[in-house]
Amino acid sequence: MIGVISYLAFFGTVAAILAIAVLGLNLQWGNTGLFNGGVAAFFGAGAYGAMMLGGPADPQQLGGFALPYPIAFAGGIGLAALVAWAVGLLTLRLRHDYLAIATFGVAVALEAVARNAEWLTGGAKGMRGFPRPFEGLFADQFTYNLAFLGFVVIILIAVYAGLERLVRSPYGRVLRAIREDEVAARALGKNATRLRLEAFVLGSAIIGVAGVLYVSFYAFISPQDMAPILTFQIWAMLIVGGAGNNRGAVLGAFLIWGAWTSSGFLLSKFAPTAVQIYTGPIQYIMIGSVIVGMLLWRPQGLLPERIERTKTGNEAPGENASQG
Amino acid sequence: MKTRYLRQLAVAAALTVGGAGVAAADCPVKVGVALPTSVDWGKPIAETALWVTDMINEAGGVDGCPVETILRDTQVDAKVGVDAAKAMVDLDKVQLMMGAVSSGVTLPILTSVTVPAGVMQISCCSSSTRITGLAEEGSTKGLWFRTFATSNVQSAVLTKLAKDAGYGKVTVFYKNDDWGQDMASLLDNALKASGVEVAASIAITDNQPSYRAEVTEALGGNPDAVILALYPKEGIAVTREWISLGGTTKMVGANSLRSEEFRDAVGMQYLGDFIGADTSSPRTASASAFVEAYKAKFGGEPSGPGLPNSFDAAAISLLAYHAAGKDATGAEIAAKVPMVTDPSGVPVDANVEGFKKAMALLSEGKPVSFQGGTGAVTFDANGDVSAPAVSWVFTESGIDEKQYIPLEEVNAFIQSLN
Amino acid sequence: MIQNLMDGILTGSIISLGAIGLTMVMHMLRFANFAYAELLAIGAYAALVFDRLFAALVPLTDQTFGGLSLTWSLTLATLAAMAVTGASAVLIDWAIFKRIREKADALSMVFASFGVALIIRNVITLIFGLKAELYSNDIAFAMVLSRDPLLLIKPDQIFVLAAALVLMAIFHLVLSRTTFGFALRAVAENPALAQVAGVPLARMVIVVWLIGGAFSAAAGVFYALTNHLSPLIGHNFLLPVFAATIVGGIGSVYGALLGGFIVGTASGLALQIMPSGYIPAMPFLIILAVLLVRPHGLFGEPQT
């Protein structure tokens, strides 16, 4: 039983970390309509930022200042936000698909920096030895993992609650207005450019939080952790869960990560040995099929966006809005 | 099937917290294998590991218990690999984990899964010097082994071969990953220290549309020879491009290129001057048992990076498991590894007969010297393979080992570089 | 330097071929199709199968000509592969994208294309394995054009460049001289207006997929001829082909052509200014540079 709990705690921690990233993306895409194709870049910025500030010193590279955890935490978020701000200034005026590709390119470029700038990031072999927070307080790994799960879940709830408040506020309504009809929003005197940038930076900072938690948990980060597949995973979670709906985002994260890991688990259990060697490609085909199937049969996601009726009742029809 | 799962569930439920020696006493013995089967070079490595378990089972199994491997694809994604390892350790209660390949996955599995759970981990193919650092700190608790030489040894051997061949100026092509970068900086130091000029050191990033620019750049340096620290896929692309543009056929290659795929795609007519480096020792009489057995099984030479290493990792760890008994914990298995790789032990071959002999001897408490795919392997205190070196060449019929360089000589050469 | 420029032009011709179809598809169907580059892989592998088939059926065709590593059977195989890839593109559109188009917006399509790319790549992996395949194991030597500065070119490269230019020229003639070409351009430039003018949109979508598939197949074969085949060909060309399309301006066929050459040469010259490890980021830097100056690409029109 302990084994099952231990594994589930581990699974839950990773899923909750990913759920935070999905919430960040949901603010950008689901609520503001910004197509961020470079989620991995901001996740990586958060993780590397925290590692450089909080990690142990390494004579071969800059960074490793071994600063206290809260500073490393804030630094990771700060780096993610800073990168997002710079990227946003350059790319946010592009239309959707250009923005998707430009941000995808940002992720490729940042991965190249992480992989090649050995003096800064340790290069392809990554950086290790991040001091895991409060580890000294716990007697064994098992209880520590449970406590860490609690820590991550608390942050997840905080982010969720904050975003729920935000999207229900007038500010959230303006963001949705920009998503639906930017010209109309401008006509009402809203500074759409600035609001888009704010939403982009805030969403990326939340994705950065996920990156910080990731490096806190594994105590290790390498360029492999910011491969484009991460962007794909986070997007899959949002699409399946339901863009525009924060509950959907969290649900999607747990479902997709569950499907991703359990497909490997089930294949290793039930597939004949001769087939096992092919499980890698088979697993990818299954994942691809789930995504495509979902978009074919339920493009609005499992939990579609709920449009709240305002007093005038003149807002965009729910059908369109739910596509978010 | 159903009853088995019910029983497992019952066993799992019966287990209590924090225990050493909690391994399920039931047969079969479960062993975790976390390898990137969805990557070109990962699949044959996994096939080799599975093949060893078949042979061990044919030879009677671990301590009379058949071995059941649980193979999980790491997808070269740390999240996926760590999750897979965690599931195998927590749910299947494995005490032995084979894997992974790239250090970006191996290292987090080691630090967040196997070491905390007291599970032994053995990798065929991780070469990062970062892990040696981890072991020196004591963070691996003696649970970590690898059958792949560290980049330090590999680069020294490549340097020695280049120097002995009389090359005064070389260009290095390296795979732009953790292994390649490690190799590149170590090669740079080693070559310069031994008086060989490095014309250029060029990173080859995976999966690029074309390597023509990189090759053209290298051509400009006009080197006597090139050193290739690449895997077969990029190796083929770069070498073909290099030769077609008129580059020299004088090449020194890392053990990752010891592959028929590479030989066939480049062509023997251009590989006459190719010298390969590897870590291996002269075999006992029956010696190429591994190669023979491999040919019989897969219908071709062991081809691709890490296959003999994967064979040895699986064989040594399973023999150690046998010696420790089917109920052993990871630490107990790890403690038996020296008994399998004892240079003064009875030599045993890498085939079913050899495994039978080894198991009988180990059961009597007698040490053996396993003669594996990379020769008689031994490990140092950090779990790194202590490896004598060998140079090899391609021939029409396969791959021949030319010159064995004893361990003392390798170490002396490494010393001379500092 | 000149060598890099020349090699860049050759790589650029392959990228251009890939980008021609993409720019039309992106413009007509209004979504960034991340599965598009996988058509290169389908084409290259289809040609491999046909090549082996033809060479086995009619051994005479398995002969090279004109100093190239190209054989007659491979030439025929390339044509067959172009047809097969065009058909696959239509089939994929019919089975997946068309259905999603009907019920969801363009951005669901973008995402669906990620999934489709994953499926195609791994199906190819399952069938052919991950190891590098070659049409011919022989290595074609480069000819020395000049000794100082050293300039080298391979016969295959000249052939590829010539073949690509011929394909582009034919396409140009079709676009500029035939009613069908006008209809195609009309649809590519303004689908809604073209429909009003009586151009059957559904049929044009099929035609565009056929053309795009055929050109991608040619690009895939040309690439594999001068390099090698791997299931990751499509993935490797994704960013360069997108960059070419965006640099040229989405919807502009000529822009895509030029864009391909720009991306190819820039990547070739990149080594002059940055270490080789950073080259993968080069296409992206070009995208960014162009979009900053011209937000709709060199020849693109603001889309409504």
Kindly report, residue by residue over C15-46, the tens digit of the pLDDT.
999 998 898 888 888 788 889 999 999 999 99
- Assign domain B151-273+388-417 to its CATH architecture: 3-Layer(aba) Sandwich (3.40)
Nearest CA in chain C to B202: C276
CB contacts < 8 A, A to C, total 121
The neighbouring-strand residues paired with B226 are: B171, B251
Å from B373 to nearest chain C CA?
22
Check residue A318 and give its pLDDT. Answer: 41
According to CATH, what is the number of the domain C2-293?
1.10.3470
Q: Give the Cα separation of C174 and C185 in Å (integer).
A: 10
Chain B neighbors of A278, CB-CB under 8 A: 37
Check residue B14 and give its pLDDT. Answer: 41
Check residue A200 and give its pLDDT. Answer: 95
Q: Give the Cα separation of A152 and B207 in Å (integer).
A: 36
Check residue C120 and give its pLDDT. Answer: 95
Q: With an 8 Å Cβ cutoff, are C144 and B208 in contact? A: no
Name the helix (H) or strand (E) containing A159. Answer: helix A141-168
Instruction: Find the length of chain B.
Output: 418
Best probe of the C interface among B177, B212, B241, by most C CBs < 10 A, is: B212
Three-state helix/strand/coil letters over chain C: CHHHHHHHHHHHHHHHHHHHHHHHHHHHHCCCCCCCCHHHHHHHHHHHHHHHHHHHHCHHHCCECCCCCCEHHHHHHHHHHHHHHHHHHHHHHHHHHHHHHHHCCHHHHHHHHHHHHHHHHHHHHHHHCCCCECCCCCCCCCEEEECCCCEEECHHHHHHHHHHHHHHHHHHHHHHHCHHHHHHHHHHHCHHHHHHCCCCHHHHHHHHHHHHHHHHHHHHHHHHHHCCECCCHHHHHHHHHHHHHHHHCCCCHHHHHHHHHHHHHHHHHHHHHCCHHHHHHHHHHHHHHHHHHCCCCCCCCCCC
B24-148+288-385: CATH homologous superfamily? Response regulator (3.40.50.2300)
Which of A45-59, A175-189, B362-376, C159-173 shows the lowest per-residue confidence on average (mean pLDDT)?
A175-189
Which of A98, A239, A282 is opposite residue C111, by nearest beta carbon? A239
**Residue burial C279-303, b: 16+ Cβ < 10 Å; e: rest:** bbbbbbbbbbebbeeeebbbbbeee
Instruction: Find the length of chain C.
Output: 304
Q: Which residue has the higher pLDDT, A62 or B86?
A: B86
Q: Say what the ipTM of the complex is.
A: 0.86
Q: Is the pLDDT of residue B3 over 60?
A: no
Mean pLDDT, rounded, for B140-151: 90
Å from C241 to nearest chain A CA?
11
Q: Which residue has the higher pLDDT, A42 or C178?
A: A42
Which of B12, B104, B203 is opposite residue A3, by nearest beta carbon? B12
Q: Are A227 and A111 in contact (CB under 8 A)?
A: yes
Check residue A68 and give its pLDDT. Answer: 93
Domain ranges of chain A: 2-227
Q: Give the Cα separation of B386 and A85 in Å (integer).
A: 50
Instruction: Report B:233-262 residues touching C (Cβ under 8 A).
Output: 233, 236-237, 240-241, 243-246, 261
Residue carrying the six token digits 């420790």: B324
- Matching fold, domains B24-148+288-385 and B151-273+388-417: yes
Mean pLDDT, rounded, for B261-288: 80
Q: Which of B135, B100, B139 is nearest to B121 (CA)?
A: B100
Q: Are C36 and C184 in contact (CB under 8 A)?
A: no
Check residue B37 and give its pLDDT. Answer: 85
**Residue burial A83-110, b: 16+ Cβ < 10 Å; e: rest:** bbbebbeebbbbebbbbbbbbbbbbbbb
Q: Which residue has the higher pLDDT, A294 or B24?
A: A294
Question: Averaging pLDDT over each range in B326-330, B372-376, C68-72, which range is the top one?
Answer: B326-330
CA A53-A58-A62 angle, 5° bins: 55
Is residue A283 helix, strand or coil?
Answer: helix
Q: What band does C303 get if pLDDT is binned at 50, 70 and 90? A: low
Chain B neighbors of C129, CB-CB under 8 A: 40, 43
Question: Averaging pLDDT over each range in A118-122, B270-274, C127-131, C143-147, which range is the top one?
Answer: B270-274
Structure tokens at A294: 């979902």
Check residue B19 and give its pLDDT. Answer: 38
Chain B neighbors of A283, CB-CB under 8 A: 38, 73, 75
Chain B neighbors of C15, CB-CB under 8 A: 209
Name the helix (H) or strand (E) containing B264. Answer: helix B260-266
Instruction: Report C:106-165 residues touching B (Cβ under 8 A).
Output: 122, 125, 129-132, 134, 137-142, 144, 150, 152, 154
Give B4's DSSP letter. Answer: H
Q: Are A18 and A257 in contact (CB under 8 A)?
A: yes
Which of B111, B176, B185 is opposite residue A115, by nearest beta carbon? B176
Check residue B25 and give its pLDDT. Answer: 52
Best probe of the A interface among B37, B97, B175, B206, by most A CBs < 10 A, is: B37
Pairing of strands C151-153, B96-99: unpaired
Is the CB of A115 inside 8 Å of chain C's CB atoms?
A: yes
pLDDT, tens digit only, all 324 positions of chain A: 788 999 999 999 999 999 999 999 999 998 888 989 899 999 999 999 999 999 888 777 777 788 999 999 999 999 999 999 999 988 887 777 778 888 988 999 999 999 999 888 888 888 888 888 888 888 888 899 999 999 999 999 999 999 999 989 998 988 888 888 888 888 888 888 889 999 999 999 999 999 999 999 998 999 989 988 899 889 989 988 988 899 999 999 999 999 888 888 888 888 877 777 787 788 888 888 988 888 888 888 888 887 665 544 444 444 444 333
Which of A291-300, B23-32, B368-377, B397-406 shows the lowest per-residue confidence on average (mean pLDDT)?
B23-32
| Average pLDDT of chain B to the nearest whole number | 86
Residue carrying the six token digits 């390339």: C78
Å from A20 to nearest chain C CA?
20
Check residue B405 and give its pLDDT. Answer: 86
Q: What band does B89 get if pLDDT is binned at 50, 70 and 90? A: very high
Domain ranges of chain C: 2-293
Å from A131 to nearest chain B CA?
12
Tell me the percentage of chain B whose pLDDT exceeds 70.
Answer: 92
Check residue B283 and give its pLDDT. Answer: 60
Å from C169 to nearest chain A CA?
28
